[in-house]
Amino acid sequence: MALSRGGIFLITRITDDNKKNAKKNKIDIGTPKITDQDPFLDAADKETEDDGDLYEEEEQPQKKGILSKKSGVVKQDYGDAEVIVLRQHSGKVYIAAGVIIVLLLAVFGFFYLNRTHDSYAVDSNAQRTDRTAMEYLSFQGGFIKYNMDGITYEDRAGNIVWTEAFTMVDPKVVTRGEYVAITDIGNNSYALYNTSKKIGNFTTDYPITDIQVATQGLVVVVLEHEKVNYIVAFDRAGSRKYIEIKTSINKNGYPLAIAMSDDGKKLVVSYITINQGTVENSLTFYNFDDVGQNEVDRQVGYKKFTGQLFPSLEFLSNDTVCAFGDSRFVIYSMKQKPKEIINKKVKDEIKSVFYNSSYVGYVSRERHTMGTTEQTSVNVVKAAGTTKQELEKTEQNKTEQAIETTEEVSGTASANYVLKAFNLKGKQILTEDIDFNYTNIHSTENEIILLSSEQCRIIKYNGFVKFKKDFNNELVDFFPSNRNNHYVLITRDATQMIHLN
């Protein structure tokens, strides 16, 4: 029998002999009287030698057999009934136990979330009917696929939302938010789509050399006409020129790259010029909001670089823009006018760049020769005794060819890539060796995906390898869906929606 009083548990254990004696003497073995006296205090100090009746309410029962208070258990004899007193644990013990459990769960959760996957499950599978080379872009949880013969949007369930056939020589596709724009570089037209349909085809006055789209469907194009260029922004219906900037090659240079903010109110252009045989690159910043009204051509900033090319510009957020060069990247805050916040020189030539709203990064190459490490500034492709430098303009695998150079290397050399990522304060947060010849790179808010036809690797920005698998020369592309741990897997034979096991 157990009783509780004053934070103390009393357990009465009655032995067989006790029961017999009680029956013989007709004694009612009931619950001992519990007084206001603390049995622990009495037991610790002395033993009571009162021989009075155990069941006399006026007198205290005899207490014998006291154990240490530290043990948390005290045995006492109340005549024929042996009582075990259990001390209640302190609240501090429970708090400490709770903290330990929380810490163990946190450690388990950390390693569970950062474990390396090497397998996946297929949610849907569709056999590929196209056998020609295709380019793929992640879009709204599904993907865009296109080539010179047409463009198709499939949602994450594998349904074809819209498709169109055409004939193009040099198609360029860009996406932002819910919009997709496509043009044939060098032609006078572009098309605009959203997540449900084609919005329309639109013509321009001159050939298009570049195109971008904003989140609200605003389309920006660079038009080329003899020694003059026009940077024009059209509304979603393609009927109104929202922006028009006229530039000349002699004054401004040739527009190498453009980037527009999400709201369509800020524009950055990378211009290239050759001055007495020296290549110069300038970044020009435009503001089409109230701040730019009082500026000539709405130009609110300008920065010149010598011996440096910036073939890629990207708005990381509506107010932050990054210029990616062949050996440098520069980040500007641009709420209204530009303010440089990072200007980082890279020792090695940049092969690929990647970014999200919180981080920017690049992949460069090292050469290991005769047991020593020799760094080179080019991404080499052997061709008739020469090497060709490549620079990927974006993580969408758009490459631009640059200078040719000849190298001779003694000994045996093997390729090794180094991936580095930085936060928007310029602090390096990740370094990872890449030991395979990847051909494509993608970035999400949490991870970087590198792949070749034979391998795929997903690296989280905290440094953990999330996924690593060989594909036996079957992989075409691998990019994220808009659900955690879900991806689009393109092989030579099928398009699959998968999730990691």
Nearest to 39 by CA among 12, 14, 1: 12
Nearest to 203 by CA among 193, 195, 192, 194: 192
Whether residue 57 is contained in a domain is answered as: yes
Bridge-based pairing state of the strands 142-147 and 440-443: unpaired
pLDDT value, residue 481: 87
Mean pLDDT of 101-127: 81
Whether residue 38 is contained in a domain is answered as: yes
Whether residue 30 is contained in a domain is answered as: yes
pLDDT value, residue 170: 97
Q: What is the largest CA-CA distance in the chain?
A: 125
pLDDT above 90: residue 258: yes
Q: What is the pLDDT of residues 421-470, one digit of tens each?
A: 999 999 999 999 999 999 999 999 999 999 999 999 999 999 999 999 99
Q: Report the percentage of the chain scoring pLDDT > 70.
A: 70
pLDDT value, residue 88: 54
Torsion, Cα of 117, 495, 176, 420 (10° steps): 30
Q: Which residue has the higher pLDDT, 205 or 79?
A: 205
Whether residue 12 is contained in a domain is answered as: yes
Rounded CA separation 415/329 (Å): 24
pLDDT value, residue 386: 27
pLDDT above 60: residue 245: yes
Rounded CA separation 473/490 (Å): 12
Whether residue 436 is contained in a domain is answered as: no
Q: Which residue has the higher pLDDT, 106 or 250?
A: 250
Q: Which residue has the higher pLDDT, 376 or 262?
A: 262
HEC readout, 306-325:
ECCCCCEEEEEECCEEEEEC
pLDDT value, residue 128: 86
pLDDT value, residue 105: 79
Q: What is the residue range of 48's domain?
A: 2-87
Structural domain tally of the chain?
1
pLDDT above 80: residue 398: no
Mean pLDDT of 380-388: 27
Rounded CA separation 398/401 (Å): 10
pLDDT above 80: residue 312: yes
Yes or no: say if 326 and 391 are a contact pair by the CB < 8 Å rule.
yes
Q: How many C-alpha atoms does 355 have within 13 Å on its Cβ side? A: 20
Q: Report the percentage of the chain scoring pLDDT > 90.
A: 54
Find which of 125-139, 310-324, 462-476 is predicted with most confidence, using mean pLDDT. 310-324
Whether residue 15 is contained in a domain is answered as: yes
pLDDT band at 282 (very low <50, low <70, confident <90, very high): very high
Nearest to 222 by CA among 237, 242, 206, 236: 206
The token duo for 208 is 């298009």
Supply the pTM of this predicted model.
0.69
Whether residue 215 is contained in a domain is answered as: no
pLDDT value, residue 246: 93
Torsion, Cα of 252, 253, 259, 261 (10° steps): 0
pLDDT band at 241 (very low <50, low <70, confident <90, very high): confident
Whether residue 226 is contained in a domain is answered as: no
